[in-house]
Amino acid sequence: MAGFVSFVSSGPGDPELLTVKAVNRLKQADAILFDDLSSGPILQYARADADLVAVGKRANRPSPKQHAVSQLLVEYAQNGGHIVRLKSGDGGLFGRLEEELIALKQAGINYEIIPGVSSAFAAAAAAGIPLTRRLCARRIQFITGRDITGDLPDDFNLTALADPSALTVVFMGKSTFGKMQKILQEYGLPESTPALLAEAVATPEQKFTRTTMGELARMLSNDISPNPALILYGPLADLDADDD
């Protein structure tokens, strides 16, 4: 009899941000296939006899191909038992969830999806700011800064991304942000637009850099750390600013 798969979203890295349901599924799992950013202290909840299999992908590092990860997940589930596919952040946001769901459906394997705290929400919380702002940031948009080749996607809605009243969160965008910033400036978004670089969110290496889009583009052209990061730009709140 085929097993059952729980897609568990682990949040950005801090085990205290796991949901109760996520912890329960980790404790029940016979095998856990985990992303790089879901390793470390989060795996403390795994059973001592559970199989732990690293299948994570990181930019510019040797990583398993997605079809291989999907096939491995199917093979584990076909052997029976309760399998957890542990994804960082919220697996439904740029987590390649769909490919793995399709593989399970084609194999006739049942599953559930357990949501988690997205790194976007964790970054804003850790930085002490809201993502929305009354009157000046009424819309949030999440985008990826990399296509399948690692380059800047060429099918962006540039008018939307240059909207000064939208707060934009860029996932996986450090290496392409310079190119993106230049294009958006041509579409009318000033290089003085506030920007926040949030690195290694909810981990001991967490670091925030508050700057502008132009300055951030220049900074990233000279030095890109290996830490995972988000870029937020638009009408960011500055709660330390004077109201006058």
Q: Which of 35, 87, 90, 174 is catalytic?
A: 35
> Mind listing the pLDDT tens digit of every residue in the chain (244 residues)?
789 999 999 999 899 999 999 999 999 999 999 998 888 899 999 999 999 999 986 655 567 889 999 999 999 999 999 999 999 999 999 999 999 999 999 999 999 999 999 999 999 999 999 998 887 778 999 999 999 888 999 999 999 999 999 999 999 999 999 999 999 999 999 999 999 999 999 999 999 999 999 999 999 998 778 899 999 999 998 766 544 3
pLDDT value of residue 62: 63
Q: Percentage of the chain surpassing pLDDT 70? A: 95
What is the secondary structure of 205-236 as a DSSP string? T-EEEEEEHHHHHHHHHH---SS-EEEEESS-
User: Any catalytic annotation for residue 27?
Assistant: no
User: Any catalytic annotation for residue 179?
Assistant: no
Domains of the chain: 4-114 (3.40.1010.10), 119-233 (3.30.950.10)
pLDDT value of residue 117: 96
pLDDT value of residue 223: 76
pLDDT value of residue 15: 94
What is the secondary structure of 5-68 as a DSSP string? EEEEE-BSS-GGGS-HHHHHHHHH-SEEEE-GGG-GGGGGGS-TTSEEEE----TTS----HHH
Tokens of 156: 């962006």
> Cα 11 vs. chain centroid, distance in angstroms?
9
Cβ 145 vs Cβ 173: under 8 Å: yes
pLDDT single digits (tens) 206-237: 999 999 999 999 999 987 788 999 999 999 98
Q: Which of 21, 51, 57, 179 is catalytic?
A: 57
Long-range contacts (CB closer than 8 Å, 24 or more residues apart) made by 152-158: 152/176, 152/179, 152/180, 158/183, 158/184, 158/187
The whole-chain average pLDDT of the chain stands at 92
Residue 105 CB neighbours (<10 A): 11
Tokens of 131: 């993502």
